[in-house]
Structure 1
Amino acid sequence: MKMTMDVECTPEEARRVMGLPDLTPIHDAYLEKMRKLVEDGITPDTMESMMRAWAPMGDTGMAMWRQLMDRMTGSMSKS
């Protein structure tokens, strides 16, 4: 026997039912930091330092990000 159940709920309700933590304060802090960076004028150095902080596996992760950005911008630069 196969049974299907559809549950209609908001993402907040689903998060609570599954017992997941509320990351709203972290998300808000991240957005505020990004907003400040944009207002202050984001530089390539700032962007690189953010990517280094986010990138898994250090330089390998950075190479992956660089490749992704090159593809998105159509750049054929090799570094």
Structure 2
Amino acid sequence: MKITFDIDATPQELRTFFGLPDIEPLQNEMLELIKKNMAMGTEGFDPATLMKPFLPETITAMQKTFWQAMLGQKPMDSDQAE
């Protein structure tokens, strides 16, 4: 049996429905900083370096964190992880 749902909702409505945080202010702040640095021609400017403090060590860790949050599980300590 296959069931299909068509949901007519904006991304913001879905984030609110799933209880995800509103990160629009952070996104706007980061975009303004990136635009400013790019306009100034800052040598060695790297957006990935700018975001590093906000992201887990690896993408895999970030994915695990998202899945745990979606499943309502408590995040694992680093010594409990693989």
Residues matched between the structures, number:
55
Identity %: 31
**4+ aligned runs moved over 3 Å, structure 1:** none
Q: If the length of structure 1 is used for normalisation, what is the TM-score? A: 0.55
The answer to which structure, 1 or 2, has the higher relative contact order (CA under 8 A, 6+ apart) is 1
After TM superposition, the structure 1 = structure 2 runs for residues 60-79 of structure 1, keeping only pairs within 5 Å, are: none
Q: 1:52: Cα distance to partner?
A: 7.7
CA distance in 2, matches of 1:47, 1:23: 21
RMSD: 2.7
Counterpart code for 2:49? M
Q: Higher helix share goes to which structure?
A: 1
Q: If the length of structure 2 is used for normalisation, what is the TM-score? A: 0.53
Decide which structure has the larger Cα Rg and report it. 1
Classify 1:53/1:26 alpha carbon distance in 2 versus 1 (closer, same or farther; 3 Å): closer
Alignment correspondent of 1:65: none
